[in-house]
Structure 1
Amino acid sequence: MIADEMTERLQGLTPTQLEIFDESESHRGHSGFREGGESHFRIRLASPAFAGLTRLQKHRLVHDTLGDIVPRVHALALELSES
């Protein structure tokens, strides 16, 4: 499952909070929706790795950490904070 892969990779950022939500079902009928889910995700992540980074730098760090997972999902919402 994509959420499990995300969780495993994001552990490298030593999160103090990590929640991953598959919001695919709420996008049924919209572009990118796939039957069975795993198309639209929301990640809520707090990490000391974000200290001193701009919002854009935080997003880039998460995208780089997720690597090849990012192109496999249609939408990825990020809620990021320092811990």
Structure 2
Amino acid sequence: MTDIATGSIADQITRRLTEALSPTRLEVVNESAQHRGHLGDDGTGESHFRVVVESAAFAGLNRVARQRLVNRALADLLAERIHALAIQARAPGE
């Protein structure tokens, strides 16, 4: 992805995870305000996020494999814009 400058980070996370994982549930929570003034706070108000994502793509995968799928979808954002990302990933019915 090369659109890291368009739209809010939360919107980009939502769009990318929707495209990559077709989630049945997706919550993107901006927790940046809780980290204001801490290491990694770049002053934009969009540096720390939590995602809760439920997707059939996670069926049969362990926690690390699930997180890798999320990280792959957000790779350039994680490298350049997101300081911290907490991930809760589960398959439907879990």
TM class, shorter-length:
over 0.9
Higher helix share: 1
Instruction: Output the CA distance in 2 between the equivalents of 1:29 and 1:66.
Output: 24
Instruction: Output the CA distance in 1 between the equivalents of 2:73 and 2:57.
Output: 12
| In the alignment, structure 1 residue 42 sits paired with structure 2 residue 46 | no
1:73 aligned partner:
82
**TM-score of the two chains, using structure 1 as the length reference:** 0.94
Extract unaligned runs of 5+ from structure 1: none
Find 1:10's aligned residue among 17, 32, 37.
Answer: 17
Find 2:59's aligned residue among 51, 54, 69.
Answer: 51
**TM-score of the two chains, using structure 2 as the length reference:** 0.83
Q: Write out the 4+ residue segments of structure 1 that deviate beyond 4 Å after TM superposition.
A: none
Extract unaligned runs of 5+ from structure 2: 1-7
Instruction: Output the CA distance in 1 between the equivalents of 2:12 and 2:75.
Output: 11
Instruction: Output the CA distance in 2 between the equivalents of 1:50 and 1:25.
Output: 30
Deviations 1:1-43 (A, max 9, x none): 1111111111121101100011000011210112231100000
Q: Matched residues, percent identical?
A: 49
1:23 aligned partner:
31
Deviation at 1:65, TM superposition (A): 1.2
Instruction: Output the CA distance in 1 between the equivalents of 2:50 and 2:44.
Output: 16
